[in-house]
Amino acid sequence: MPILPEAARRLVASPPGDFLELRGERIRQQRMVCSAGSLVDYGPVLSQGLAARVLKDGVWGWASRDGFEEAATVASRAGSLASSAGGRGNAVLPPFVPAAGFFDKPCVERFDEVPDREKAFQCQRYGELLSSLVHGAPCRVVYSERRREKEIVNSAGTDVSEVENICAFRFELPGSPLSVFRDMAGRSGYEFFRSREKLLDEVAAEYSSASDISPVESGRSRVILDPELTGMFVHEVFGHILEAGAHPFSPALSGMLSPGTEIAPSCVTIVDDATHYDMPGSMAYDDEGIPGCRKVLVSSGRVKSRLHSLATAGAAGMPPTGNGRAGSHRSPLAARMTCTYLAPGDRSLEGLLSMMPDGLLLEGALSGSTNMDRFRLTARKAWRIRSGKPVRPAGPCTIAGRILDTLGTISGAGSDLSLSSGLWGCSRPGYATVPVSYGGPYMLLGPVTIHPGV
């Protein structure tokens, strides 16, 4: 499935700088929204184009253009942009082994083999089922599919391509005081959207019981996070600060994140693994053509590695880790997570509960975010734990705090592991949203600050 024309591929033989990379992309996506029984949004988009990146005199120049006709112009423009800084940069290219290959994880049902009519019917059917379960309350069903083909060649000899299919959906009951929803995503074909009736039951049951659930009390408490929340915690609290380039190399933080530095208790081992090929964020090759792989970021509480793109690896004097990612050809690259999780420990949930006779068991991730200094994480539901037993459910709640204050409070990891992913992916200021997944086992931490609501 060549994307780049032969003439474009030949350009890398004579780069307009120290290094030239060309990335061709063809993305076909479809989105449907069904609300109150009707299809209110429907949007197939075909997007294709190329991005060129040049390293020249210590400055990265990057240019992109829709379509493939003007590859030489785009490559030349990237070179000119790098030159426009007047050699003021100190960027260097790290050593790496150029890869070659093609990867396409087969789908059971390819998106283009299922008619749009059938997809729309399925959205409406789920909508009607959900509405009937909640006595006609308004509901929304969102369906999203994305097929991305990419091809990367560079002047160092890299020549790789990959196909990525992602299917995602969301069932939502807008409500007062709070909306109830579930969303899921998988690196999969249309089969991922089938047979989701059980999830509809879950959403409806949560909506129907929402008025009977009291809010959680504000304050500080120890908490056990379920695997989905553990994953989001790991993503927000560990993952983002370990993405090289996500924050400035201020002395305060660069010292804290040096390899070998202890940042968490010994029960904490954090992994970023791009090879979970059922999960969004997985990839055989990153968007710079570096093979995706499994990296241990934190081993027994100590920093072992950070996530790098070519640019950040060059700046840090480290090898790239296969985490250079862009949302599309229109978006520049950055070091981003793939599938990030807390490695399982050796305790059962009962064992963790016995370590926390009083506290909260939090279930389901609604949202999470960080500004690199502080984080917040919102849980769908909380169970009050008394004498090691769940006694009373409570509504959505948010835990928040300073990252540095919270890392040391992790005191136990369960023995199970499950991975999750949502409809939207991970956003970062200045860059495109990229698919990611996250997970872990049950995890005990705290005390942390808790507030009711979202």
Partner 1 sequence: MHQAERLLKLAGAVSEAAEVAGVEGVSSGVRIVPGGGISIEESTSSDLCVRMIRNGRLGLGAASGSGDLPTILDMAIAGSRAGMTVGWSFPPAADAGEIETRHPALAVIGIEDLAGLLLGIEDAIREQSPHAAVTGTICRRDLEIFLANTSGFQGSYGKSVIDLDLELSFPEKDGMLVQSLRFASGLPLASPRTICEAAVRVASESGRKVSVPRGAMPVVLSPAVLCALLQSFRAGVGARALLDRSSPLADLQGSRVAPAAVTLLDRPRLPYGAASAPFDAEGVPTHDRHLIREGILCGSVNDLATAAALGVEPTGNASRSPGEMPRPSCTNLVLEPGTASLGELLQAHESCVLIRELLPGSSGDALSGEFCFDVALAVLFDHGEPAGRIENLSMTGNALEMIGSIEAVESALYSVETDWLPSVLIPSASLESGA
If one asks whether residue 205 binds partner 1 (CB under 8 A), the answer comes out as no
Nearest distance, CB of residue 415 and partner 1, angstroms: 31
Q: Pairing between strand 219-225 and 359-370?
A: parallel
The dihedrals phi and psi of 370, each to the nearest 5 degrees, come to -150, 155
Shortest distance, CB of residue 453 to partner 1, whole angstroms?
A: 4
Q: Which of 259, 373, 389, 392 binds partner 1 (CB under 8 A)?
A: 373
Shortest distance, position 122 Cβ to partner 1, whole Å? 11
Q: Cα–Cα distance between 401 and 403 in angstroms, integer?
A: 6
Judged by DSSP in three states, 186 sits in strand
User: Under the criterion CB under 8 A, does residue 18 sit at the interface with partner 1?
Assistant: no
Q: Is 92 strand, coil or helix?
A: coil
Q: Which residue from 244, 303, 352, 434 is in contact with partner 1, where contact means CB under 8 A? A: 244
Which residues within the stretch 423-442 sit at the binding site for partner 1 (CB under 8 A)?
A: 429-430
Residues 388-417 that bind partner 1 (CB under 8 A): 398, 400-404
- Which positions from 149 through 188 interact with partner 1, judged by CB under 8 A? 174-179
Q: Which stretch binds partner 1 (CB under 8 A): 101-109, 192-200, 267-275, 361-369?
A: 361-369
- Residue closer to partner 1 by CB (options 81, 284) is 81
Applying the rule CB under 8 A, the residues between 24 and 83 that interact with partner 1 are 29, 31, 35-36, 38-49, 58-68, 77, 81-82
Sole binder of partner 1 in the list 132, 214, 348, 371 (CB under 8 A): 371
User: Which one of residues 163, 199, 315, 355 is an interface residue with partner 1 (CB under 8 A)?
Assistant: 315
Residues sharing a CB contact under 8 Å with residue 102, sequence separation 6 or more, in sequence order: 1, 160, 161, 162
**Count of other CB atoms within 10 angstroms of residue 97:** 11
Least distance from C-beta 171 to partner 1, angstroms?
15
CB of 12 to partner 1, least distance (A): 20
Locate all alpha helices (DSSP H) within 317-348, ordered by sequence: none
For partner 1, the closer of residues 89 and 388 by Cβ is 89
Q: Which of residues 103-132 bind partner 1 (CB under 8 A)?
A: 115-117, 119-121
Distances from the Cα of 28 to the Cα of 112, 145, 340, 403, angstroms: 10, 8, 26, 38
What H or E segment, with its residue span, contains residue 198?
helix 197-209
- The label of the residue with tokens 């996530």 reads 307
Shortest Å, Cβ 347 to partner 1: 27
CB contact at 8 A, 322 and 280:
no
- Across-strand partners of 152? 23, 160
**Do strands 339-342 and 359-370 pair parallel, antiparallel, or not at all (unpaired)?**
unpaired
- Binding status of residue 245 toward partner 1 by CB under 8 A: yes
Binders of partner 1 in range 272-311 (CB under 8 A): 311
Nearer to partner 1, 178 or 349 (CB): 178
Q: Which residue's CB is nearer to partner 1, number 114 or number 353?
A: 114
One residue of 300, 367, 409, 415 binding partner 1 per CB under 8 A = 367
Encoded amino acid at 364, one letter: G
Cα distance between residue 61 and residue 59, in whole Å: 6
Nearer to partner 1, 45 or 97 (CB): 45
| 397 CA to centre of own chain | 22
* Contact (Cβ atoms closer than 8 angstroms) between residue 222 and residue 356: yes
Assess 213 for contact with partner 1 (CB under 8 A).
Answer: no
Question: Counting contacts by CB under 8 A, is residue 318 touching partner 1?
Answer: no
Here the tokens at position 327 are 């949302």
